[in-house]
Structure 1
Amino acid sequence: MPFVGLAQLLRRDVPGLAAGPDGADLVQLFRCPLTHGPDQERRYHLRWRRAAETERAERFIADPPDVPAVLPEHELPEPCVLHPEEVDTYPWAEDDTLPASLIALIDAWDDAQVAEHGPDAPCYQYDLSIPPGWRVGGFPSWASTGPMHIGCGTCATPMQLLLTAEGSEMDGGSHSWVPLEDRDPALRGMASIRGGHSVARPSRLRFGRDRDLHVFTCPADPRHTPRWVLS
């Protein structure tokens, strides 16, 4: 069964994209359209290339390979052109991702915001630290699993986050990240999003039960096997 292409990124377009093996500057993410085993496991594939070599290639596939027509809609991506935007991100504040004293200050600030502004008050975790949606580098979100140590299976080096893929570019818990042109300033949360489903989920994909797919690579040697983590 042919893998389905999910993303293609070039370092010249995304300055924060990590370098691949042997100077590769183009990375492609693929997913098998079918699930496997009793746990409905998904299989992914990361392919590094040199952009200059692919642009000189003599053979290109004009149309992507056919996939089974019985697949649910959220298994096949809606073709999109990316418009990268650089933002500052900060670590997930839980366990030992930050010093305990700093996490205590963040929790106190969150409580003060709720006391002053009510349940719609901004909070560190969702409004300030990590944006929703597809992103390169930065810090992983750990909303479903809690923070995890991700070590390289080959050399045990702590791995770095290459890419995060998510079904939604915006949600009710991250109002501050909704682009101004896509929101109604008089409303909050999902109700504020103009354009509905196609704006909130432009890629049409889902990962697990609406989780984030984190792709980790080894900074010591990008040829080592990447790791996929749903959180």
Structure 2
Amino acid sequence: PWPRGQDGPVPFVALAQFFRRDIPGLACGPGGADLVQLFRCPWVHGPYPDRRYTLRWRDAMRTERAERFLGTPPEAPLLRWEHELPEPCVLHPEEVDTYPWAEGHTLPASLIARIDAWDDARAAEHGPDAVSYQYDLSIPPGWRIGGCPTWASTGPMAIGCASCGSPMRLLLTADGYETDGGSHSWAPLEDRDPDLSGTESIPGSPSVARPTRLRFGRDQDLHVFVCPAEPGHAPRWVLA
């Protein structure tokens, strides 16, 4: 994809690509497409300023057998901040169970009250390293396919398809941080200091906490929603 810059078209920055063969839960795209790619415009737009993204679905077999490829990958234009250009990473997908964000109408009010009481009791007994539902049990940090969205900065939102009104399904969550002090239980064992425990065992180095080097909004999650009724309908982007 090529957005228009002041001196002509500039390439979108490639953020991620996922194959359905690697992630069985990945929904098919239009026409049964099994490869999805996420791009971001290198420029910001509007008075706020806003980021613009694009989602491309492809047939993996046809893409891998293409007769022509670019000899030299397109170079991104000069960017203002380091976190605007992703650090190349290899993904190692791991399947985990996720549970809804406990706020608003995402769960019955009586169940949310029980979760809050359980969290308070754990915190009183174990202090800052206590396991909590929201950070340690419901939704892991980092990049995720499917599962439940986080609503830490906005509160729960109903996301409907702009074309047909169907409730949309979460396809992808992009997160600038793979771990933090509030969700330390998700940190891989190989990234921990074996001589320490709790939050102190997690190194604060960028290579561990922010391996992709990216940021979304003011350290928010970028949720990409798609229409389950018609994969060809436009996706929606939500920072939360």
Alignment-derived partner of residue 120 in structure 1: 129
Partner of 1:41: 50
Q: How many Å apart are 1:172 and its aligned residue?
A: 0.9
Computed over aligned residues only, the root mean square deviation of the Cα atoms, in angstroms, reads 1.2
More deviation, 115-124/81-90: 115-124
Query: Would you say 1:9 and 2:33 are equivalent positions?
Result: no
Structure 2 letter corresponding to 1:153: A
Alpha-carbon separation, structure 1, partners of 2:238 and 2:73: 27
Q: One-letter code of the match for 1:141? A: T
1:215 aligned residue (207, 224, 229): 224
Alignment partners' CA distance in 2, 1:195 and 1:99: 37
Q: 1:131 aligns with which of 128, 132, 140?
A: 140
Counterpart position of 1:75: 84
Map of 2:4 onto structure 1:
none
Amino acid at match of 2:220: R
Runs of 5+ consecutive residues of structure 1 not aligned to the other structure: none
* % identical aligned pairs: 74
Q: Give, in whole Å, the separation in 2 of the partners of 1:126 and 1:64.
A: 39
**Paired residues for 1:59-208 under 5 Å:** 59-185=68-194, 186-189=196-199, 191-194=200-203, 196-208=205-217
SS state of the match for residue 118, structure 1? helix
Tell me the amino acid that sits aligned with residue 208 of structure 1.
G
- Partner Cα distance (2:162, 2:78) in 1: 36
SS at match of 2:234: coil
2:169 & 2:63 partners in 1: Cα distance?
Answer: 26
Q: Name segments (4+ residues, structure 1) moved above 3 Å.
A: none
Q: What TM-score, normalized by structure 1, do the two folds share? A: 0.96
The equivalent residue for 1:53 is 62
> Post-superposition shift, 1:195?
6.8
**Aligned residues between the structures:** 230
Residue by residue over 1:136-186, the C-alpha shift from the partner in whole angstroms, topping out at 9 and shown as x without a partner, is 000000000000000000000000000000111101110100011111252
* Structure-2-length-normalised TM-score: 0.93
Whole-Å separation in 2 of the counterparts to 1:62 and 1:122? 50
The separation in 2 between residues aligned to 1:128 and 1:29, in whole angstroms, is 28
The offset of 1:70, in angstroms, is 3.8
Task: Identify the match of residue 30 of structure 1 among 34, 39, 51.
Answer: 39
